[in-house]
Amino acid sequence: MTTHKRNIVKVTDLSIGYKTKKAETVVASNINFELEKGQLIGLVGANGIGKSTLLRTLIKVQSALNGNISINGNDLNSTSTIELAKQLSIVLTEPLISKNLSVFELVSLGRHPYTNWIGNLSEEDVSTVNNALEHVNILNLKDKKCYELSDGQLQKVMIARALAQDTAIIVLDEPTTHLDMYHKAYILKLLQKLTKETGKTILFSSHEIDLAIQLCDTMIVMQKDKVVCDQPCNLISQGVFNSLFPKDLIAFDEKTGSFRVAK
Amino acid sequence: MKTNYTYPFLILTVILLFCFVLNISLGSVSIPFSEVLGSLFGSVDNETWQVIITKVRLPKAITAIMVGSGLGISGLLMQTLFRNPLAGPFVLGISSGASLGVAIVILGSGLFGGLFATVLISKWSIVIAASLGSFLVLLAVLAVSSRVRDTMAILIIGLMFGSITAAIVSVLSYFSSAEQLQQYIFWGFGSLSNLSWEELLIFFCIYSVGIVLSIFSVKGLNALLLGDNYAKSLGLSLKSSRFVIIFATSLIAGTITAFAGPIAFIGLAIPHLTRQIFKTTNHKILLPAVFLFGAIVMLICDSIAQVPTSDYMLPINAITALVGAPVVIWLLVRQRKMMF
């Protein structure tokens, strides 16, 4: 490891939204940030502020209205889907199409970009899949079918799949929804552990601001007029979280780093 | 960890061979089993038997194999592509397109006048009309699917095409004679027989292209099990793989409908049956398994349809529905939910 900071994702003057033939709906604009390699990055913001849109733009599910995204020094627009598949993997909120997949089958689909024309797994692929299962501690679930799993287990399986894809970056869209408090903390802690152990850059969006403050190296906070990206402690001292929600109902307590409901 | 599928495949292949021989040895004329085997290798004294076997029963059995395996595979492709356990080769409107083509030829011939009618109604014109009809509907579906991103919408559009063609067919039948109607209904019963070796060769060529295309789609189909966005994130080109899958299905299902009529339930039931028995979602295993199952079930259905040792020949479509529908019901009751 060199002490030189390497930025793996660079976003400049990005504006995101939806474009139809007639009109352009801008969800957020003037977004600038850089993400360092090997960090855990949390993306927070109120509902409807455009977190998912930003993530969808970053993973090239939808195209940017304006501005530039570079991943590993390459412009996202000129990166082909197969190249991108080797650099970036995703965990989405959308439900699994086929719950009849076994855990091993599902995780091994992560090897898709590397396998031959018919998708045969080499021994190396199999060991990568097993490694991924081990990292997430679900080796014992290997032969289970997905419909037998709880939400928490399924989320771990999806993370293992992203790991098996062997990419430098993993993007997760709200990985903690539908989970209980314990599993929320467990999943985010797991993500933190993965960045440390594997050196991957992990970006996730979440509504668990308290947890994110405690675990993330960097946080991206989306607000109506601006998008800020910094270390959690800096963001607290700048008072960014105070203005995140209307103050009449909940307020941010800087000492504990958590939100309190106004009495 | 890795389940070994060698034995199931071996057993299925043996069952297929058995059904194949059984199918050939059954028919209105009873031929001793040893003679049936002998005729396959071209050494039978009784010439009538030889002719019956090579000109009638063998082509019919081969047709059954291609129809069963082809419909099963197109059902598998459609169910994965449209993420819908109810999808089959016919929800896309492929069979309705074929029916429309045939209806126009048979029922519409009256409108074109006498001389023209006799020219129009020949076996080849029906085959061509059916292929053309299914191909045109397919083109329409493809054109729509490049605009509509939602696969569920494509499914509904396919159903709508079906309704439109059904409406046109009923308008046509209102104006046609009883004789023409009967001919159209007979086509609708489906039939595996009456294919000459030349017709079989053409059938086989188009069918093979479809099968090869589906084999090349295996990897993409597996990725599609995760959903469109995940598949894309795995480096799959959604547009082109969707195109190849739909194209392969229409080639297979279109020719089958053209040569054998609209045969129901095989495309829907066989993939589900296979998934129950093989307990995997990997298309690399499912595709050959569906091939074998489809062929076996179709051979059995055909053996039942010809009512052994009698002169009767039941409509094959009735048999496949009688076999297929209970299978689907049984699966639903057993697992309460259709999964794929």
Task: Report pLDDT digits (tens) over B217-259.
Answer: 999 999 999 988 999 999 999 888 988 988 888 888 888 988 8
Does B340 map to a domain?
no
The position carrying tokens 């440390």 is A196
**CB pair distance less than 8 Å for A105 and B282:** yes
The C-alpha of B337 sits at a distance from chain A's nearest C-alpha, in angstroms, of: 11
**CB pair distance less than 8 Å for A112 and B280:** no
How far is residue A77's CA from residue A31's CA, in Å, rounded to a whole number?
17
A148 shares its domain with A184: no
> Residue type for B103, please?
A
A187 shares its domain with A102: no
Domain-ending residue, one of A119, A151, A166: A166
Expressed as residue numbers, the domain containing A221 is: 7-87+168-261
Whether A21 has its CB under 8 Å from any CB of chain B: the answer is no
Which DSSP symbol is given to A199?
A: -
Cβ neighbourhood burial of A36 (10 Å; 0-12, 13-18, 19+): middle
A115: chain B residues, CB-CB within 8 Å: 219
Which residues have C-beta within 8 Å of that of residue B208, sequence separation ≥ 6?
none
Strand partners, A43: A205, A220
Question: What's the pLDDT at A131?
Answer: 95
Total domain count, chain A: 2
A131 shares its domain with A41: no
Question: What's the pLDDT at B122?
Answer: 67
Whether B212 has its CB under 8 Å from any CB of chain A: the answer is no
Total domain count, chain B: 1
Does B58 map to a domain?
yes
Does B136 map to a domain?
yes
Domain-ending residue, one of A166, A197, A222: A166
B230: chain A residues, CB-CB within 8 Å: 90, 92
> Residue type for A90, please?
I
Question: Mutate which of A81, A114, A129 to test chain B, going by most B C-beta atoms within 10 A?
Answer: A81
Nearest to B235 among A100, A104, A112 (CB): A112
Is the pLDDT reported for residue A1 higher than 50? Answer: no
Q: Which of A250, A252, A248 is nearest to A238 (CA)?
A: A252
**CB pair distance less than 8 Å for A119 and B340:** no
Does B1 map to a domain?
no
CATH code, domain carrying B34: 1.10.3470.10
Does A160 map to a domain?
yes
Question: Which range among A2-11, A34-43, A67-76, A157-166 shows the weakest confidence by mean pLDDT?
Answer: A2-11
Strand residues in A72-109 grouped as ranges (E): 74-75, 88-91
A39 shares its domain with A160: no
Q: State the average pLDDT over residues B24-30.
A: 82
Question: What's the pLDDT at B143?
Answer: 76
A203 shares its domain with A240: yes
Expressed as residue numbers, the domain containing B82 is: 6-335
Whether A102 has its CB under 8 Å from any CB of chain B: the answer is yes
Q: State the average pLDDT over residues B109-113.
A: 63
Which DSSP symbol is given to A255?
A: T
pLDDT band at B88 (very low <50, low <70, confident <90, very high): confident
Does A56 map to a domain?
yes
A121 shares its domain with A178: no
Does A93 map to a domain?
no
pLDDT band at A216 (very low <50, low <70, confident <90, very high): very high
Domain-ending residue, one of A151, A166, A181: A166
Helix axis angle, B266-278 to B283-305, nearest 10° = 130
A147: chain B residues, CB-CB within 8 Å: 339
Q: State the average pLDDT over residues A23-41.
A: 93
Q: How far, in Å, are A9, A138, A159 from residue A155 at the CA level?
A: 25, 11, 6
Complex ipTM more than 0.90, yes or no = yes
Cα angle at A138 between A133 and A141, to 5 degrees?
A: 110
pLDDT band at B110 (very low <50, low <70, confident <90, very high): low
Whether B280 has its CB under 8 Å from any CB of chain A: the answer is yes
**CB pair distance less than 8 Å for A96 and B226:** yes
Question: What's the pLDDT at A104?
Answer: 95
Strand partners, A17: A26
Q: How far, in Å, are B28, B30, B303 from residue B310 at the CA level?
A: 5, 9, 12
**CB pair distance less than 8 Å for A92 and B83:** no
The C-alpha of B230 sits at a distance from chain A's nearest C-alpha, in angstroms, of: 7
A112 shares its domain with A82: no
A152 shares its domain with A109: yes
A125 shares its domain with A143: yes
Question: Which range among A52-56, B26-30, B302-306 shows the weakest confidence by mean pLDDT?
Answer: B26-30
Does B124 map to a domain?
yes
Question: What's the pLDDT at B172?
Answer: 87
**CB pair distance less than 8 Å for A110 and B234:** yes
Whether B340 has its CB under 8 Å from any CB of chain A: the answer is yes
Question: Which range among A54-63, B169-178, B312-321, B325-334 shows the weakest confidence by mean pLDDT?
Answer: B325-334
